[in-house]
Structure 1
Amino acid sequence: MKRAKRIYILLGVLAVVCVAAFAVMHYQEQQELIQNTDEIILEVDSSTVQSLSWTYDGESLAFHKDGAWLYDGDEAFPVDEEKINNLLEPFQAFGAAFIIHDVTDFAQYGLDDPTCTIDLATEDASYEIQLGDYSTMDAQRYVSIGDGNVYLVQEDPLDTFDVELSDLIANDETPDFNQVTSIQFTGSDSYQVIYQEDSGYSYCADDVYFKEQDGTYLPLDTALVTSYLSGITSLSPTDYVTYNAGEEDLATYGLDDPELTVAVTYTPETDEDGKEAAEPVVFTISVSRDPDERSAAEDAQSTEEDDADITAYARIGESKIIYQITGTQYKELMAASYDDLRHQEVFYADFADVTGLDITLEDAAYTITSQGAGDSRAFSYDGEEIEIDDLRDALEALTASSFTGEAPTEKEEISLTVHLDSEDYPEIRIQLYRYDGEQCLAVVDGEPVSLVSRSSVVDLIEAVNAIVL
C-alpha cells in the first residue's frame, strides 16, 4: 500500500514537471517570435486623410474633412485644424521598436479589449490602429494595425488622443499689441485713448497714452495702460459656454448689452501671410456679468465682492464663441475707467528733472535749489548742500486713495512749487489741505485731484522739517 502511494506521488511530480517543461518551452517559443526592429509600420500622409475617429475610455469622437475639418456631432463646432493635424502627425511615419510575429493570444497584450481604437481613412484606404497595454518595463505601448502582428512603439499615440472635444476647439486668440494707435472704451465710462510720443501733453516724459476729452488730452499712466493691455493678451480664453451663440445666447450671458467693450487699434508685427504688417487692425473684446448678478450688484450698497462669487463672460469680436472668465479676470478687465488708468501719484514727473522747490509750511517759506543735471544733480538749502532722498521719497509717495473734484474747505497743511527742467512744464504747484482725520486733499495747479493718506502728508512735512529746521 505504501509502495502504491509512492508511485502515485511520483506520477504527480512527473506530471507537474512535464507541465512546467511545456510552459518553459512555450515561453521560449514566444520569446523567439519577438524581434528588434526599426521598421516604419504605417505611413499615412495627413493631408490625404478624409476622416478620423477614435474611442477611448468609453467616449467616441469623429471628424470628417470637407475642405476644412468638421465635427460629425455638430458641424457648427469650430474645429482647430492644427490640433487635428497634430493627432495625425505620428502616423506619417509610425515606427516600431519591437515586433511580435503571428500573435495568437492578443489578450496578453491588452488587445482583445483595446484601450483606444483609432480609425482613419483616405480616399483609397482605411486604417484601424488599436492601442493595448502599456509595458512599464519597456516604457512602450503595445499596438496592432490589423496585420496579425503586435508592435511595441516608443511614440505612444495615446499621448495625443487622450483629449476631449473642448480640447479641439479653435479658440479665439488674444494678440500681443504691437504699435497701439488708439483704445476705445465703451461702457459706464466711455472714452477714447490715443497713443502719442513726444506730445507735450504731460510733464512726465514717459507718458504716451492720453484720454481725449473736449479737445484736450489728459495723461494716463503708461505702466497701467501697458499692464491692462497685457491682461487682455494673457487672457487666452478656453472655458467656452457655447460655440454657436445666437441672439438668445447673447442675452443669456449679458453680451447683447455688454458692460464694457474694448476696441484696440494696433499694427501687428506680421500679417496673415507672415509678412511684415503695414495696416492697423482692430481687436475687440466685450465683457459682462451674468445678468442676474449684474442687476443685484448695481442695486447693492457695497462694491466689495469675492472673486469666486462673480460669474462673468467674454466675447471676442463677432465670434460665436462665448467664454466664461474668472472673477479676477472680470475685475481686471472692468478696471478701465479714467481713474483706473490715470496716474495714481500726485507728483509723477521724473525727479531727475527737478531743479528746485519752493515750499510753504506753517506760513514760512523755504527754497531748495540745485546744481548739475539729471541724477547727478546736487541740492542745497540756505547755501548748504543737503540730502534730498527722504523729501523725494515722501513727495513721490503721495498716492491717491480716491479721486475727487471737491474744493478744499479746510486749512492748507503744506504747499510746494516744484521747478522742472522742461519748456512745456517749467513748474508744478502742489497744495495739500486737511480733509478729515485720515486723509488730506491734494490740489495740483489749482485743480482738486485726489484724497491722499494723511500719514503720507505728515511724512512729507517731517522730511521738509528735517532739512529746514
Structure 2
Amino acid sequence: MGQKKKKSMILLLSVLLILAAVYFILQSWNKSQEKKQQAKEEAKQVYLTDIGEVKGIQYDTGSGDMEFKKEGDVWYYAPDMDFPLAQSYPKKMAEEFGHLKAERELKDGDSLEAYGLTDPVYTVVLKDAEGKETTLYYGSSTGDSYYVTVGDTKKVYTVSNTTISDLQYSLDDMAQLDTFPTIGSGNLKKEIITKDGKTTTYDSEKEEDSKNIAAVAGGLGAVTLQKVADYSVEDKDLAQYGLDEASRTTVEAAYTLDKKEKTLTLYIGNTDADKNRYVMMNDSRIVYLISDEVCKNILNEE
C-alpha cells in the first residue's frame, strides 16, 4: 500500500473516531438533560402520602371493611390470618397509597361538602411501621379524577380514578388457590384409592389396568380448582364436608413431571345440593367443589 493510501486510511480512521466520540458525547449530554428534566418534573410533583413502609391497610368501599396487615415480609387478611391471600394485591395497594400522587391541589376552593368529602365514597386507612395512621378520604368524582383529602388537613387534591382500582376486588378475587397438576394417561403411573379401610390400586405397568388408568387419568385431567366452599377449614369442621379422616375417600396419584416422579394426594368428601363433591388436596386447607361426575371418573365409579 502506498504512502498516499496509508495517509488517507489514517485520516479516514481519525475522522470516524472523532465522529464516534462526538456521538458518544451527544448521547451522554442528551441523557443528562433527560435526567435533569425528569428531576425537575419530579420536584414539582405533589404526593399526598410518603410512608416508608406500609404495615397495615384498611378500607371501606361501601360493602364492608377490608383489612390487611403485614408481618415480616408477608401480608395477611387480618380477620382470618389463615386465608390464602395472594400477595400481589396488598403489595400493590401499599405501593399506590404509600406514595399517593396528586394531580393537583385545589387553591382557595369550596367547602369539603362541595367535593363530597364530608360523606366520603371511600376511606383508606394506612398504618406505618411505628403504628402511625394516615387516613385518605375520597369524595366526589370529576372526570377521570377523585377529590381527596388527607386526615383533617382540609386540603383538597385531585387524584387519578385508577388509584382506587385495587379496592374493587372481592376477597374471593384475592385468594391464592392451589395449582392442580397436569395429569393424563401419558404420565399417570399409579393411583391408589382408599375408602372405608379398603384399598384399590391401578398400575400403569400392568396391562390389565390400562383401561382403568385411562379412565381415572381422564378424571384427574378434568379437575379445575375454581369453586371454593371454605378457604381455611378448621379440623373441627372437616366432618361437615365428609372430609374427616373417618369419612373421606383418599386418592394417591403417582405421576411424572419433567422426568421426576411426583405424588398428588386428593381427599374426596360428601356431595352438596348441586351435585358437587367437597375436595381437598395435599396439605392445603382450602375445600374445593368439583363435579360429582369428575370425582366418579377419578374413583372409576359408574
Range into which the TM-score falls when normalised by the shorter chain: 0.5 to 0.7
Equivalent position SS for 1:175? coil
Number of aligned positions between the proteins: 252
Please say if 1:313 is aligned against 2:278: yes
TM-score by length of 2: 0.67
Judging changes above 3 Å, is the alpha-carbon distance between structure 1 residues 312 and 115 closer, same or farther for their aligned structure 2 residues? same
Judging changes above 3 Å, is the alpha-carbon distance between structure 1 residues 151 and 268 closer, same or farther for their aligned structure 2 residues? farther
Amino acid at match of 1:317: N
Within 1, Cα distance between the matches of 2:94 and 2:256? 35
Q: Match for residue 243 of structure 1?
A: 232
Q: Cα offset for 1:57? A: 0.9
1:172–1:237 contact (8 Å) kept in structure 2: no
Within 1, Cα distance between the matches of 2:261 and 2:82? 30
Please say if 1:228 is aligned against 2:211: no
Judging changes above 3 Å, is the alpha-carbon distance between structure 1 residues 144 and 230 closer, same or farther for their aligned structure 2 residues? farther
Within 2, Cα distance between the matches of 1:263 and 1:221? 15
Q: Match for residue 242 of structure 2?
A: 254
Q: Match for residue 264 of structure 1?
A: 253
User: Deviations 1:253-308 (Å, cap 9, x if unpaired)?
Assistant: 11124554333334556xxxxxxxx7543222222224xx7xxxxxxxxxxxxxx6
1:253–1:313 contact (8 Å) kept in structure 2: yes
What pairs with 1:293-304 in structure 2 (closer than 5 Å)? none
Equivalent position SS for 1:264? strand
Please say if 1:121 is aligned against 2:102: no
Measured on the aligned residues, the alpha-carbon RMSD in Å equals 3.6
Judging changes above 3 Å, is the alpha-carbon distance between structure 1 residues 225 and 322 closer, same or farther for their aligned structure 2 residues? closer
Within 1, Cα distance between the matches of 2:202 and 2:228? 30
Please say if 1:218 is aligned against 2:190: no
Q: Which runs of 5+ in 2 are unaligned?
A: 1-42
Judging changes above 3 Å, is the alpha-carbon distance between structure 1 residues 107 and 61 closer, same or farther for their aligned structure 2 residues? same
Q: Cα offset for 1:162? A: 2.5
Q: Cα offset for 1:337? A: 4.7
2:57–2:127 contact (8 Å) kept in structure 1: yes
Of residues 321, 331, 334, the one that matches 2:293 is 331
1:258–1:286 contact (8 Å) kept in structure 2: no
Please say if 1:99 is aligned against 2:99: no
Judging changes above 3 Å, is the alpha-carbon distance between structure 1 residues 229 and 126 closer, same or farther for their aligned structure 2 residues? same
Equivalent position SS for 2:162? coil
Q: Cα offset for 1:245? A: 1.9
Q: Match for residue 80 of structure 1?
A: 86
Within 2, Cα distance between the matches of 1:333 and 1:77? 26
Q: Match for residue 140 of structure 1?
A: 145
Within 1, Cα distance between the matches of 2:124 and 2:187? 46
Q: Which runs of 5+ in 1 are unaligned?
A: 1-36, 195-209, 270-277, 294-307, 341-469
TM-score by length of 1: 0.46
Please say if 1:191 is aligned against 2:201: yes
User: Deviations 1:182-224 (Å, cap 9, x if unpaired)?
Assistant: 2424156822343xxxxxxxxxxxxxxx6x4xxx443249986
Within 2, Cα distance between the matches of 1:82 and 1:281? 28
Q: Cα offset for 1:114? A: 0.9
Of residues 250, 262, 276, the one that matches 1:281 is 262
Of residues 45, 48, 60, the one that matches 1:55 is 60
Judging changes above 3 Å, is the alpha-carbon distance between structure 1 residues 218 and 226 closer, same or farther for their aligned structure 2 residues? closer
Q: Cα offset for 1:55? A: 2.0
Judging changes above 3 Å, is the alpha-carbon distance between structure 1 residues 85 and 280 closer, same or farther for their aligned structure 2 residues? farther
2:202–2:213 contact (8 Å) kept in structure 1: no
Greater relative CO, 1 or 2 (CA 8 Å, sep 6+)? 2
2:123–2:138 contact (8 Å) kept in structure 1: yes
Within 1, Cα distance between the matches of 2:46 and 2:280? 46
Amino acid at match of 1:132: G
Within 2, Cα distance between the matches of 1:223 and 1:143? 60
Within 2, Cα distance between the matches of 1:221 and 1:95? 61
Equivalent position SS for 1:218? helix
